[in-house]
Amino acid sequence: MIERTLEPILRQKCRESKIVVLKGARRTGRLTLVSRIFNLEDPQVGIIDCSAKKERKQMNSLEQLKVFSRDKRVIIIRDAQLLEPLQDYIDFAIESDSLENLILVCSFEPELHEDLWEALRNQGLELNLFSLTYAESAKFHGLVQEDKELEQRLIYGYYPEVITSPGSTEQIISDILETGIFTQLGASERINKKENLIRLLRHLAFSIGKVISFNDLGKKCNLDNETVERYVKLFTKANLLVLIPSYNNGSRYELKKSHVVYFLDNGIRNALIRAFQPLEFRNDVEELWRNFVISERFKANQYADKHPESFFWLTHTKQEVDYLEIANGEAFGVKMCWEDSKKIKVPTSFQELYPQIKVTGVNKKTFWTFLKK
C-alpha cells in the first residue's frame, strides 16, 4: 500500500480531538486512509455511508443516529456533507462520553455552524487529501522508477487506482471523471444544468495556464459571468482546481485582476478533453508540465501546513513569470520548461520592477528541488 503523507497527521489529530474533517475528491483514497488508523471490521467502529441514498435516508434523523451510535467508540461518516442532521449529531457527539472519534469524510464542505468551523480550522482539524503526489509515489516505487514514469504521470495523473492499475488507465480516469467529479459538489449548491457544468470544465481544461475571462466563458457555456465565477470557486473548494491571481504593483503594462487556473490532477484535465496521446504527439506539453508542477507544489504546501500567497505575472506584451510565491515577506518566482536543454530567460521588465525577487527555472531535472523548497 502506498504510504500517504497525511496519515501521521490524521493519526495525530484523531488522538488530540474527537472531531476531524477529512476532505478530498472522491476516489482519492479517503476511506483507505481512515482504515489505516481505525479497524473498520471492529464492531465498535461504525460507518455511515451517505453516498448511498438508502442508508442516508435511514440515518436522516438525530434519534436514528443516536441509536446507531450505541456501543460505538468511533463513527465514520462517508460523504458527511449529504447528511441533513449533521450539525445536531456533532452537538450530540461532543457531549457523548462513550464516543471517542467522529470522522467526517467529505468531498465538499458540510454546512456547519460558523463558530464550529472556526474552531476546527484554528486547531488544524480540517484536513485535505489529494490524489497521490510525486513524493508519495516515488517513495513507493523508488525515485529512479518514478522519474521513468514521469511522462505517464503528465498524461494520466496520480489518482490511486490509476497508479495501481496501469493496464487500464484511460478507462479508470474516465470513470473517475464521470462517477466521482461531476457528483461531488455541495448538495445545497445551485447546480442547474449538468451539461453546462461539463462544458465549463472542458473549456477550463483547454485553458490551463492561460488568463481566463468569466464573461467569455459564460458566453461559450450559456451561463452568466456570475454563475461561471461561482462554479469556478466551487471547483476550487472541491479540490478540482487551483485559481491563481495576477501579481502587480500598479504598472500600466501589468495585467491586473486576472486569473489563471490549473487542475489538481493532470489525468482529470486530460480526460475532460479526451486527450491521452503520448507527449511526442501533443502540442500542449508545456501546459501539462506547468499544471503538473504547480499542482504538486500546491499539494506539498498543503500537507506541510504552509499557506503562501500564489500568483502569476504577465504583461500586455506577453512577458511572463509562470508562478510567484510569497510567504513571511519573502518572495520567489519560477519559469517552467519541460526540456532541461532549454535555457530559461527571465523577463527584463520583471527584473527591473522586482529586483528583490529571484526567478529560477524548473524543468524535469530540477523540479524535485523546487517541490522540497
Three cell numbers written together for 361: 527555472
pLDDT along the chain (373 residues), means of 10: 95 96 93 96 96 90 94 95 93 94 92 92 94 96 95 96 87 82 54 76 96 94 90 88 95 93 96 95 97 97 94 96 96 95 92 96 93 87
Reported as a single tens digit per residue, the pLDDT across 14-33 is 999 999 999 998 899 999 99
One-letter-per-residue 3-state SS of 145-178: HHHHCHHHHHHHCCCHHHHHCHHHHHHHHHHHHH
CA distance 325 to 243: 14
CA distance 214 to 259: 10
Three cell numbers written together for 267: 489525468
pLDDT of 273 reads 94
pLDDT of 181 reads 65
- Reported in sequence order, the residue ranges of 56-141 that DSSP labels E, i.e. its strands, are 74-78, 101-106, 126-128
CA distance 132 to 149: 14
Nearest alpha-carbon partner for 182 in 154, 201, 163, 206: 201
Planar angle of CA 311, 25, 17, nearest 5 degrees:
95
**Residues 163, 169, 170, 172, CA torsion sign:** negative
DSSP one-letter code for 3: P
From residue 153, alpha-carbon distances to 202, 212, 290 in Å are 20, 25, 13
CA distance 157 to 169: 10
User: Pairing state of beta strands 45-49 and 19-23?
Assistant: unpaired
pTM score, whole prediction: 0.93
pLDDT of 192 reads 57
Asked if 332 and 360 count as a contact pair (C-beta separation under 8 A), the reply is yes
pLDDT of 186 reads 46
Residues facing 315 on adjacent strands: 254
pLDDT of 39 reads 96
pLDDT of 188 reads 46
